[in-house]
Amino acid sequence: MKTLVAFYFSGTGNTLYIAEYLCKKLSSAYNCELCDITDTENYREKAVRADALMFAFPIYGSAPPIPMRNFVHVCGGLLCGKNVIIAETQYFFSGDGAASLGRTIKKYGGIIIGAETFNMPNNLADCKIFAVKNGGETQKTLAKAKKRADRFAARLLKGNARRRGFCALSHGVGYFSQRKFWMRNETAKRDKMKIYPERCVGCGLCAKSCPVKNIEMRGGRPVPSGNCVMCYRCVNLCPKKAITVLGTAPPEKQYFGPKR
């Protein structure tokens, strides 16, 4: 049987959920292995021996997360001639989210055999304009995403999967509606997170769970180092709702991920 390695980045669980689901649906043709790109050793060997690769990631302002973009460049030389599947998750809109990473993969010689976007629950808990939902409130969204994944996987197995976002119109819409503005200030945003000292109890969960080790505990207090990649994991995990990243006030409600 062929092997598929699914490299994923997931701040709050949505992308992992979809990557896992797709792997299950593709298991009649592939032995699938899920690999968190922030916690993966031997990624080179894994990529070299795989018959196909999947890149799964959430979209931020119509752009892939910094760790995923960096990972593709690090793997670049291994992608030539490889079959690649792209799975992108979003709250509701990205324009060309899947293709935004797909174009880079193509430049390295990767063959995109399918690219799809999946609408998932919102995780931007400190932005009041977007509602945060959990549990039963997310069931409709998750059921729709799974249906789309069923169709996508079935077409991948037949060899005629769609490559969403690759047309010029989607490219223009994704770039001019969001990515251009997002990328312009992305570096400045990395230093914007705020930890409210009056709320924090020094439990260390944020530091322990940050996928890029942006937070360090010093003297029992969490201290960010300015390298946040805006995944929102700590914002949604903090037991005291003491963290904001892009918002201006601590979250009223947190997102607990698709499995709760």
Ligand X SMILES: Cc1cc2nc3c(=O)[nH]c(=O)nc-3n(C[C@H](O)[C@H](O)[C@H](O)COP(=O)(O)O)c2cc1C
Nearer to ligand SF4, 33 or 36 (CB): 36
Nearer to ligand SF4, 102 or 224 (CB): 224
Site for ligand SF4 contains 206 (CB under 6 A): yes
- The binder of 58, among ligand X, ligand SF4, none, by C-beta within 5 to 8 A per type, is ligand X
DSSP 76: G
Nearer to ligand SF4, 81 or 219 (CB): 219
Binding span for ligand X by CB under 6 A among 54-62, 72-80, 131-139, 212-220: 54-62
As a whole number of angstroms, the distance between CA 256 and CA 260 comes to: 6
Of the candidates 175, 240, 246, 247, which one interacts with ligand SF4 according to CB under 6 A?
A: 240
Q: Six-digit token pair at 111?
A: 């063959």
Type of residue found at 111 = I
Of the candidates 59, 66, 142, 156, which one interacts with ligand X according to CB under 6 A?
A: 59
CA distances from 190 to 123, 135, 161, 207, 241 (A): 17, 30, 36, 16, 19
Cα-based angle 104, 108, 110 (whole degrees, multiple of 5): 90
Q: Six-digit token pair at 10?
A: 């997931």
Q: Six-digit token pair at 59?
A: 């979209």
Q: Which residues in this chain contact ligand SF4 in the complex, by CB under 6 A?
A: 11, 193, 195, 200-206, 210, 212, 214-215, 222, 224, 228-235, 238-240, 242-243, 245
